[in-house]
Amino acid sequence: MCRKQYGTENVILSDIKKAPPEVYRSGPFVYADVLDYKNLRELVVNNRITWLVHYSALLSVVGEANVALARKINITGLHNVLDLALESCLRLFVPSTIGAFGPSSPRDPAPDLCVQRPHTIYGVSKVHAELMGEYLHHKYGLDFRCLRYPGIISANTQPGGGTTDYAVQIFHDALSTGHHECYLRADTRLPMMHIGDCHRATVEFMHAPECQLSLRTYNIAAMSFTPEEVSTEIRKHLPHLKVTYNPDSVRQTIADSWPVRFDDSNAQRDWGWKSTYGLEELVSDMLISVVLIVIEII
Ligand code: AKB
């Protein structure tokens, strides 16, 4: 999406892992390690970078399994990026999450400003990111922008250690074995969003004139569903889908502490946010996209 808008050569993707062939072929791709300040600075200087979108993080479940690594990547990595953004006058986007809320936050809906006492290292690191970015904005004028994402549903990325991963895996299982074993209870409701809406929200927010922003960190919402509801919607296309439930205590406890719905009225009012995918559209699109990926692989 960004490459279409700004030109292929003007958007550089990075990772510490080798890119899959289609990503490598799609435009500039470089090695970047958020823990290596010199490496990051070289990339910014050599490429005259102006905007930095910082996605590196260990997600909720994998973070609980390796707290020391999550602290390093999510907090030390963030500090490197904040320092670099200040030093090089970058506009900085850092995503936050429904995971930045905890059991003492209002859950239905969770507003932008309320108690945030998450019980995961992932959540703690994201609240830290929100507060550090806002502090540096107020103190030094850093153009810091942050959106709290719901669970993001995408056919192209493999689930990566999150609590909301089942909502991606279920599509792959529905089209392969026809059976999905869900690690959450059937009635666990969580906010979710199609990747297309997520990308569009991020770009629209980065473009919003400063004078329109009353906050630096906004909730964005699209839909909320339970495993039972998404299964029912998938069965309209694939009636044979069988879903069994075997709740995992770590993931269920995390999910039960997160909002069931997001209040995104500030994003709607300040910069015109509006989602386009509901559950029906999301399910149709995911089934088509997963089939296309399987055909490409074959
Ligand atoms: C996770 O489940 O950890 C992430 C998130 C909601 O931030 N997908």
**Three-class SS state of 245:** strand
Q: Ligand 1 center to residue 166 CA distance, Å?
A: 11
How far is Cα 27 from Cα 119, in angstroms, rounded to an integer?
39
Q: pTM, whole model, 2 decimals? A: 0.96
Q: Ligand 1 center to residue 29 CA distance, Å?
A: 25
Helix (H) / strand (E) element for 124: namely: helix 121-140
**Virtual CA dihedral for 168, 172, 178, 179, nearest 10 degrees?**
-50
Predicted confidence (pLDDT) per residue in 91-109, tens digit: 999 999 999 999 999 999 9
Please check the confidence at residue 293 and state whether its pLDDT lies above 90. Answer: no
Of ligand 1's listed atoms, the one at least distance from the Cα of 163 is 2
Mean pLDDT computed over 132-142: 98
How far is Cα 60 from Cα 125, in angstroms, rounded to an integer?
10
167 lines ligand 1 (CB under 6 A): no
CB atoms within 10 A of CB 36: 14
Q: Residue 233 has what pLDDT? A: 98
Kindly list the distances between the CA atom of residue 53 and the CA atoms of 197, 202, 206, 219, in Å, as whole numbers in the listed order: 17, 9, 10, 17
Please check the confidence at residue 159 and state whether its pLDDT lies above 90. Answer: no
Pocket probe for ligand 1: among 97, 195, 253, the residue whose CB has the most ligand atoms within 8 Å is 97
How far is Cα 124 from Cα 132, in angstroms, rounded to an integer?
12
Predicted confidence (pLDDT) per residue in 37-63, tens digit: 999 999 999 999 999 999 999 999 999
Mean pLDDT computed over 232-246: 98
Q: Residue 297 has what pLDDT? A: 64
Mean pLDDT of the chain: 96
Please check the confidence at residue 259 and state whether its pLDDT lies above 80. Answer: yes
Q: Whose CA is nearest to atom 7 of ligand 1?
A: 97
Domain regions of the chain by residue span: 32-297
Of ligand 1's listed atoms, the one at least distance from the Cα of 151 is 6
Q: Which CATH number applies to 32-297: 2.40.50.140, 3.40.50.150, 3.40.50.720, 3.40.920.10?
A: 3.40.50.720
pLDDT band at 87 (very low <50, low <70, confident <90, very high): very high
Q: Ligand 1 center to residue 12 CA distance, Å?
A: 24
Of the listed 31, 122, 140, 277, which one is catalytic?
122
Q: Is 149 designated active site?
A: no
> What percent of the chain has a predicted confidence (pLDDT) above 90?
93
Q: Ligand 1 center to residue 47 CA distance, Å?
A: 31
Please check the confidence at residue 134 and state whether its pLDDT lies above 90. Answer: yes
